[in-house]
Amino acid sequence: MGKLTELSLVVEFAGLRLRSRTMNASGVLGMSAPLLRRVYESGAGAAVTKSLGPTGRPGHSNPTVVEVEGGVLNAMGLPNPGVGYFADEVRELKREGITVVSSFFASTLKEFSESARALSEAGSDALELNLSCPNVEGEVGMCAADAASVERVTAAVKAASDKPVFVKLSPNVTDIVQIAVAAEKGGADAITATNTLKAMAIDADFRRPVLANVTGGLSGPALKPVSLRCVWEIFDAVEIPIIGCGGVSGWRDAVEYLLAGASAVQIGAAVRDGGFEVFGEVNAGVLEYMRRNSYGSVAEIVGGAHRE
């Protein structure tokens, strides 16, 4: 007879106490306090902001989004109102008791440190470093392609803030393991794997690239096997926890990420069209999977596919 204990999704993650292991992926519904509130009310363990820059940016011209086989391509160009403006939204969310992860990017160490300080002072529970946007390489650089830069930026942010720091990595690199190890050396508290995969679409009738930026970041189901492989590889190389991100649209995807070595998942493309219920579905589905397979905790699932 199994014990009649209450199964729980509550987790101590990278120094945070989360009520579930789901979050929204940065960039999806993270532009305002009301949308982040809905993410949280729908069952996410934390709400993740759209990536914020030191100052506001209008982003790229349209078209910025196109559906492709197996997913969505986007090249928004990191549009955002700036850290200063958004700090007030973070304060509002914190007044309501919502767990907030502030995602941000910058081009210099000084800007990274200043943004980290401002977002921490506003009350963010954790910071997520977006070192990996594929669409603004010429402007802010794709820092996540270089291990030494990742270590330096992570260390600078850790020195400027006492909050847990998640480092979000790019799949557009030769060896993501080397980059994850550099983030850990820099003091990262968790790795988010992964950001979008650089891709493009061409219209046969117009004979031109569809996106104004020509290339964009691929997310959705087509990204899942790539990010899953990244999580699998990183799990063997670092001690810090991993957040799986890429193509999660149901509990089965989440369980696959847990088995690969993730301790939490972020959900992006599946929420984009207002599918807030996905957080509750994934949470309930993981609990049901635990019951069916006699797991006592989610921690027992993490990395399970690595064991003989």
Instruction: Tell me: does residue 87 bind ligand DHB (CB under 6 A).
Output: no
169 binds ligand DHB (CB under 6 A): no
- What are the structure tokens assigned to 117, written together? 């300080």
Task: State in angstroms the smallest separation of the CB of 133 from ligand DHB.
Answer: 3
Nearer to ligand DHB, 25 or 301 (CB): 25
Residue 34 CB-density burial (10 A; 0-12 exposed, 13-18 middle, 19+ buried): exposed
Using CB under 6 A, pick the residue from 39, 52, 72, 76 that binds ligand DHB: 76
Q: In the annotation, is 133 catalytic?
A: yes
Query: 74 vs 102, which CB is nearer to ligand DHB?
Result: 74
Question: Measured between alpha carbons, how far is 68 from 44 in angstroms, rounded to an integer?
Answer: 27
* Closest approach of ligand DHB to the CB of residue 76, in Å: 3
Alpha helix ranges (H) inside the chain? 33-41, 83-95, 109-121, 137-140, 147-160, 176-185, 224-235, 251-260, 269-272, 277-292
For the record, the structure tokens of 70 come out as 């197996």
CB of 190 to ligand DHB, least distance (A): 17
By C-beta, is 28 or 258 nearer to ligand DHB? 28
220 binds ligand DHB (CB under 6 A): no
Number of residues that bind ligand DHB (CB under 6 A): 13
Instruction: Assess 142 for contact with ligand DHB (CB under 6 A).
Output: no
Q: What are phi and psi of 122, to 5 degrees?
A: -70, -15
Structure tokens at 233: 């590889």
- Catalytic pick among 133, 143, 230, 245: 133
User: For 126, phi and psi rounded to 5 degrees?
Assistant: -155, 165
- Is residue 217 a contact residue for ligand DHB (CB under 6 A)? yes
162 residue type, one letter: D
Distance of closest approach, residue 272 Cβ to ligand DHB, in angstroms: 12
- Strand 16-18 and strand 65-68: pairing? unpaired
The contact set with ligand DHB (CB under 6 A) reads 27, 74-78, 130, 133-135, 195-196, 217
For the annotated catalytic residues, the residue numbers are 133
